[in-house]
A and B are shown apart, each in its own frame.
Chain A
Amino acid sequence: MMMNSTPDAAKLNWMTTRLDAALGWARKFSIFQYPFVTACCGMEYMATAASHYDMDRFGAGFPRFSPRQADVLFVVGTISHKIAPMLRRVYDQMADPKWVVAFGVCTCTGGFYDNYATVQGIDAIIPVDVYIPGCPPRPENVLDGLMKLQEKIAAGKSAADPSAGRPAEFQVPHRPEAHL
């Protein structure tokens, strides 16, 4: 009856995979996020994280408030020029591999705050992996962004990687002194 030439996988008690694929699979369900919450988007962030939308389903339920323990930086809300150095410092303190999510349109482009006080998109300061637009984005939108981030993590890609094709002027130099 069995015409299949490959061995029956169910009878084997071992499997093979690539190491990076296994790591990516593991990493995408254990997102330790650092919420850098500044503004209105924080309300939607709270709503997404709480029981109604339950970010924990994606393995991202546990915010870490130390950048050294986090691997995804959620930048939630408007970044002003005054806070920008702090954001950069937090990013520098995170250990590789790391990812950045720009949550809300202010972090993507500055939003409708086109004035002297606000940074016109955080990608001028730090590399960004996933942009979630919206003012603020709805929780569904956030979860969509989170799933896109998971795909990126599983593929082992990160914008922090120097080979990610970021223009030279936006390359982030290694700053060991930021950890001090």
Chain B
Amino acid sequence: MSDAPTLTAVLQARFPQHVLGTHAYRGQETVVLKREGWLKVARFLRDDPAMAFDFLMDLACVDYLKFGRSQSSAPTLTTPSPLPYFMTPKPQAERWERVVSDDEFRFEVVCHLYSSLRNRRLRVKVPLTAADPSMPSLTGLWKSADWFEREAWDMFGVTFTGHPNLRRILMYESFQGHPLRKDYPIRKRQPLIGPVN
């Protein structure tokens, strides 16, 4: 992992106008990009021989609506009881920060790239606002993006411009809403037949 820091540094140096920030947490490198530069950087990552990220291993979305505002229903969290000495978190050398604010950018599309040639991974994240959760589609670069993006649309309502066939994949067409959004109640059922139970 001696060349590890250079990966984000290369991107930082090459696309200073597109890169919002970088960090390496637990040895995993992350680049946070602006939506506008997304396609350009992705193409560079795939085609540049020094990068050669040939696998778009995963594309997912995270909804930061309730991030840090705990979802736990336990009363002890509003009035936290002290932790025993053996459970207090150890001070850590590294800290993880989301580069952008949670209030402004509710969604984040997270891609995990893998280069089989160089055997290394890179995480690329694109923050999106709640008002306009859309970004360019990667289907022209990696074929695996097709279904991943359909799933992100289905589960989070993020639209991908330029996607040839952006429709629901896991849920049915008549389903209202996007179930993995944090404000979708887990038990809100929309049965096609039978009672709502």
Contacts and interface: CB of A to CB of B under 8 A. Distances in A.
Contacts, number: 40
B49 interface: no
A121 B195 CA distance: 11
A81 B187 CA distance: 13
A114 B186 CA distance: 8
B190 A116 contact: yes
B188 A116 contact: yes
Contact of A81 (B172, B184, B185): B172
Given A115-B186, A116-B186, A116-B187, A84 B171 contact: no
Contacts of B190: 81, 116
Contacts of B197: 120-121, 124
Contacts of A85: 192-193
Contact of B187 (A88, A115, A125, A169): A115
B191 interface: yes
B195 A169 contact: yes
Interface residues of A, number: 15
B66 interface: no
Contacts of B179: 116-117
Interface of B: 171-172, 179, 184-195, 197
Interface of A: 81-82, 84-85, 88, 114-117, 119-121, 124-125, 169
24 contacts: A81-B172, A81-B189, A81-B190, A81-B192, A82-B171, A82-B172, A84-B192, A85-B193, A88-B194, A114-B186, A114-B187, A115-B187, A116-B179, A116-B187, A116-B188, A116-B189, A116-B190, A117-B171, A117-B179, A119-B191, A121-B197, A124-B197, A125-B194, A169-B195
